[in-house]
Every structure is written in structure tokens, then in C-alpha cells.
Structure 1
């Protein structure tokens, strides 16, 4: 069997000063946005040998990167310029407790002034790689 290759990439970019719990929480929220907007990226449900069913997950890997505040701002600008589907998480969202307040917190800030702590995007591999320039693979 030949290895499966993907023409696209799903990537999460996290600010490098987050606490471990924040990185995990932000990653989970961000990839939920990708799954919701791009349901074709989700595969079939899983089932174990005993017939227990499990939820479907992405059909391809999700790569996680990190970088400083400037790296996130630059990546955000490049993703917007390329029109890539993207979810964002700002520092304000750590103090909200629901989707309505999250959306209001983001809506209250101009695009270039967002205090980004994470973003997730999907697109052609080369475009995503260009957006992520200056970041590095995430290490806990």
C-alpha cells in the first residue's frame, strides 16, 4: 500500500508564551472551526473490534506550530491576503465563557489590533507553508 499524500495542510499556530493548558484549549477551539467550515476534511466514524462507535476525525494530520506575537500577526495578515479559511483565538477569549461573548470580543477589535494567541488554517501546502513562515513546530 502506497502512503497517502495530501495536497492540503491543516495547521494550528500558537503563541509561544501560552501555558500548557491554554495551548491545548486554544488548539481544540481552533480546529473545531476548521471542521465546522470544511466538513469534507472530516473522515468516516471509527469503530473498534467490539463494534463500539467513535466520532469521525480529520482525514489528514493537523500540524501544530508556535511563534511569537509578531509571527502570529504576520501569519494572520498573509492568510487574510491569500483568502485562506482561518479560525482565530484572541487573548480576550480567555475571559469569556460562551460563543456569543467570544464573537463579541473579536468583533470589538479591528483586524490589525487583534491580540492573537492562536490561529488555525487550511489550504494548499505551499500557501500554508508561506503563511507560517517564521514559526516552528510546537514543543510542549
Structure 2
């Protein structure tokens, strides 16, 4: 049905509020990076228009830091759309500060707490291999 796949991975050692926060931010990153993946706005029976959402399923996985770093490495190798969230971003208060702390990370060893991936199904499947669906 879909040629592409969207997967969001969140670290398994975070508090619930942190996991939800990371997933929400990463989903917005996918929507921005892939506007072609957006569905049409919703309209109710009275004709009121609502916002649109991604037009395909988003699967949410969990893993440890090593699992996130492996998914990142494979995602880079396979040229997937990647949206990262690193631990240091929890200590910032705005978007510009998030980019500053991200830039300060070791690019080959990111302290990831979340990662969104979008691309061809097989390539995304390779990147998330071994990870479990979030429960």
C-alpha cells in the first residue's frame, strides 16, 4: 500500500513524559521533512475543517542507546530521512538552543533519546532490525 515507512524509535530508559515528548517532536520533524506524506485535512459532518496528519501509519519502537545508534548509522548509510533528538535537548528551552547542543554532539556517537526515520520500506526495516515495538 505504501512505498515508504515511518518509524520512530524512543529510548527505553526515559520517563513516560519524556518518551511522549520526544515522539511528538519527532513526528513533527517527519511531517516537515516529508510534506508529500501528509494526508488531506479532516472535515466533519458540519463542514468544519481540522488539521491534517501523516497519511500513512507511524510505527513507534523502543530501544537502548546502542539500538538507536545502530539505527542512525544504518539510516545514514541508506540515506533515509532522519530526525534526531539527543539527551542534551532536554536541558534547553528553545529551538536555537536545541540546535546548539545538537551541533556539539559527537556526530558519529550521538547520545540519542529518539530518532525518526522515513524512507523505502526495506531500508527502514534494515535500520530498525532487532528493535521492539513500543509497549
* RMSD after superposition: 0.8
Asked if 1 retains the 8 angstrom alpha-carbon contact of 2:9 and 2:114, the reply is yes
Map of 2:95 onto structure 1: 99
Alignment map for 1:1-140 (pairs within 5 Å): 5-139=1-135
Structure 2: stretches of 5+ with no match in the other structure: none
Offset, 1:68: 1.0
Asked if 1 retains the 8 angstrom alpha-carbon contact of 2:69 and 2:109, the reply is no
Structure 1: stretches of 5+ with no match in the other structure: none
Residue deviations 1:64-100 (CA, integer Å, cap 9, x gap): 0011111011111110111111000001011111110
Corresponding residue SS for 2:55: coil
TM-score (norm 2): 0.97
Alpha-carbon distance in structure 2 between the residues aligned to 1:31 and 1:94: 17
Corresponding residue SS for 2:14: coil
Runs of 4+, deviation exceeding 2 Å: none
Residue deviations 1:86-125 (CA, integer Å, cap 9, x gap): 0000010111111100000100112123110000010111
TM-score (norm 1): 0.93
Alpha-carbon distance in structure 2 between the residues aligned to 1:123 and 1:10: 7
Offset, 1:43: 1.0
In the comparison of the two structures, how many residue pairs are matched?
135
